[in-house]
Amino acid sequence: MIFFSVTMSLDGFLAPDPVPVEDVFTAQGRNDPAVRQWMAKWSELQAWIFPLRFFRENLHLGAGGEEGLDNDLARATFDRTGASIMGKRMFEGGELAWPEEAPFHTPVFVLTHEKRDPWERPGGTTFHFVNDGLESALEQACQAAGNRDVRIAGGAETILQYLNAGLVDEFTIALSPVLFGTGIRLFEGIDESRIALQQTRSQPSPRVTHLTYTVRRR
């Protein structure tokens, strides 16, 4: 199965208005008021996941953490994923932010126009750079995933490309009770004439509501 799982603001944004990724992850860049605002909004959007036991375990932050529905769903998403696909911008931000042991622990296929050798990290994550299109990346990811699923990790543009190509089977949105007003929309540019959705689950928690949909062609 091909799926994605993201957190979205109540008004439909995956992230605040973009700022240079190198500014977000450097001390000098974080002095910029626009970067501080970006960090504050992104942290508020993702606040549901930071206290979870799974989040702490996966990033080796020590014992403790909350259990319950949010934790169970985060762990289940990780367990079902045999390989991930992401766009170049998401990788560039993560390359600066992820610890040495990147938090995927599976193969990750990065959509790019450049040639680059695979980048192997401790803990089982290897980044493979694919410059011959999204279908090639998906084919390689499916082979690498074996009997597990392939996750389209992001960002929004990459998810949209796979949706519009009819290559997504299912997705889950953790709907966060925050409003951005502006930013990067999840469904900006969606080809609604080709895509129909069926809601299969709605699971509220104290912090977010998890909405799951199957995707079919009209």
Q: For 73-117, how does the pLDDT look when each residue is reduced to its tens digit (9 = 90+)?
A: 999 999 999 999 999 999 988 888 888 999 999 999 999 998 999
The pLDDT, as a whole number, for residue 24 is 77
Residue 31 has a pLDDT of 78
Burial 63-100 (b: 16+ CB within 10 A, else e): eeeeeeebbebbbebbeebbbbbbbbbbbbbbeeeeee
List the one residue out of 144, 140, 142 whose CA is nearest residue 129: 140
Q: What is the pLDDT of residue 186?
A: 95
Do residues 30 and 24 lie in contact, with contact meaning Cβ atoms separated by under 8 Å? Answer: yes
Query: What are the tens digits of pLDDT across the range 16-46?
Result: 998 887 777 776 777 788 888 988 999 999 9
- Range(s) of the domain holding residue 205: 2-217
Which CATH number is 197's domain given?
A: 3.40.430.10
- Tens-place pLDDT, residues 147-192: 999 999 999 999 999 999 999 999 999 999 999 999 999 999 999 9
d(CA 115, CA 172): 32
pTM as predicted: 0.93
Are the beta carbons of 53 and 34 closer than 8 angstroms? Answer: no
Residue 27 pLDDT: 67
The alpha helices in the chain, defined as continuous H runs, are: 21-24, 33-45, 53-58, 69-80, 88-97, 134-145, 156-164
Q: Tally the domains of the chain.
A: 1
pLDDT of residue 218: 83
